[in-house]
Amino acid sequence: MTEIEFREIKKIVILEEVRYNSEEDFYIAITGGTPPDQSIVVLWVEGVVFSYGAMPPNVEPFSTRYADEGVVYWTNVSYAKKEKYEEEKKIGLHTIKIIKPTAGAIIDVAKVLAQRLKEFK
């Protein structure tokens, strides 16, 4: 039988942070330039709605850090406060799907983002 090994992410390095003053501003920004028929998916955790751009793990030297050290790089994270979860949001002709993860490093990121929203009011 094939051996399966799960490794946890030990660190996420975010290269750019884009914080929005309102949920509406966030949605307008992520739909800008996107055709209405293209799928848009964001995440919601801990009262924060956000999206991120992950750096491909096959790019050196990032692939080595990912494989050897459990370090993941995100090119950016965009986020805003959103108290209540909803499965989707309609903005103009766009329908944004909102996913609510329940485990993993993404939860830790959301907690940090929620704290940053409190600090930067």
Domain residue extents for the chain: 11-119
Evaluate whether 10 touches 71 at the Cβ level (below 8 Å): yes
pLDDT band of 95, cuts 50, 70, 90: very high
DSSP 26-89: HHHHHHTT--TTS-EEEEEETTEEEEEEEPPTTSTTHHHHHHHH-EEEEEEEEEEE--S--SEE
- For the cut 80, the answer to whether the pLDDT of residue 62 exceeds it is no
What is the Cα Rg of the chain in Å? 16
The mean pLDDT of 81-98, rounded to a whole number, is 95
For residue 97, the tally of other CB atoms under 10 A from its CB is: 11
* pTM of this structure: 0.88
Mean pLDDT rounded to a whole number for the chain: 92
The mean pLDDT of 15-23, rounded to a whole number, is 96
Top-confidence residue, 120 or 49: 49
- For the cut 70, the answer to whether the pLDDT of residue 121 exceeds it is no
- For the cut 70, the answer to whether the pLDDT of residue 101 exceeds it is yes
